[in-house]
Chains A and B, each alone.
Chain A
Amino acid sequence: MIAPSLIGHSLSPVTAHVEPGRLRYFRETLGETNPVYGDVKAAQAAGYAATPVPPTYLFCLEMMDAEQAFEFITVIGVDIGRLLHGEQRFTYRAPVVVGDTLKFQPRIVSVADKKGGAMTLVGIETKVTNQNGTHVADVSRTVVVLNPKTA
């Protein structure tokens, strides 16, 4: 049972750097060859100051640079093997490019039992701002916790 009192709980903020080397590793892993992500000239032609991040990369940056990548698991008190990813959303407000330093501010926004308590859905929303204080994105996810069967 995950306490509904956790709704509104802020998780530790994360500061993350958009580094070209690990971003290249991400692109290579996904077979991403779109020049807008890998070639500064193509990025500039598309209106960016430098190469931008692919659409899901903000999710990765938050985990990579967190002191504890799975802090929320400790906070909600469940085993990592019981988690599934339910939903994910990115709202893009301003460009994020190589060289940026981002601040992620996650908080728990919902806790809801489903299927007679067989699972609990936990919603986490994260505001993302850059080094200039510009609000660049909102990232939200719903995590599914598979609850152990009660005798």
Chain B
Amino acid sequence: MSKPVKTQPAIGDRIVHKVFPPISRHTLVLYCGASGDHNPIHVDLDFAKAAGYPDVFTHGMLVMGYLGQALTDAVPPPRLRMFSTRFVAITQLGARLTCEGHVSELVEHDGERCAKLALTTKDENGDLKLAGEAVIAL
């Protein structure tokens, strides 16, 4: 687990960093049940091929789940005000993901002192999968 976020972070500080194990077919099947997202494209190879994909691929929300885990390893959940992401590219099977977050801005948000974090999730080749943002109370 990362060390707890300082109450006076500086712009550019990296406060989120976590590496996850490779994504397996088993993980995708478990996530299908755990999340309620039963879209067959993530677990049924026949369906994925018929839809024009070479293989099944990771649920975007599983990847965002990992990013959220990395985030609240570093930031106590009660401090989280907003968490968003753009799904930049499909995450393939076997991807080993690294989630990071840097302080991008110090802001007032509904009368509270907050920091904005710029978040990324990249695979083992450094390819960007998720580009996100969080607002945390300081």
List residues of chain A with CB under 8 Å of any chain B CB: 22, 25-26, 28-32, 34, 36-37, 46-48, 52, 54-56, 59-66, 69-70, 80-92, 95
Contact = CB atoms under 8 A, between A and B. Distances in A.
A65 B30 CA distance: 18
A56 to B, nearest CB: 5
A110 to B, nearest CB: 15
Nearest to B21: A31
B36 A64 contact: yes
Interface stretch (B6-14, B62-70, B100-108, B120-128): B62-70
B79 to A, nearest CB: 10
Nearest to B135: A91
A60 B72 contact: no
A52 B77 contact: yes
Nearest to A60: B35
Contact of A90 (B41, B72, B73, B83): B83
Nearest to B110: A93
Given A29-B34, A55-B72, A60-B37, A47 B78 contact: yes
Contacts of A48: 78
A29 B27 contact: yes
Nearest to B84: A89
Contact of B71 (A29, A30, A55, A89): A55
Interface residues of B, number: 43
A17 B31 CA distance: 19
Nearest to B82: A91
Which DSSP category, helix, strand, loop or mixed, fits chain A's interface? Answer: mixed
B24 to A, nearest CB: 11
Nearest to A83: B39
Interface in B80-136: 80-87, 90
B138 to A, nearest CB: 16
A85 B87 contact: yes
Contacts of A83: 39
A91 B83 CA distance: 7
A63 B71 contact: no
A87 B86 CA distance: 4
Given A31-B69, A59-B35, A64-B35, 6 more contacts: A34-B72, A56-B61, A60-B34, A69-B37, A81-B41, A88-B64
Contacts of B68: 54-56
Nearest to B28: A29
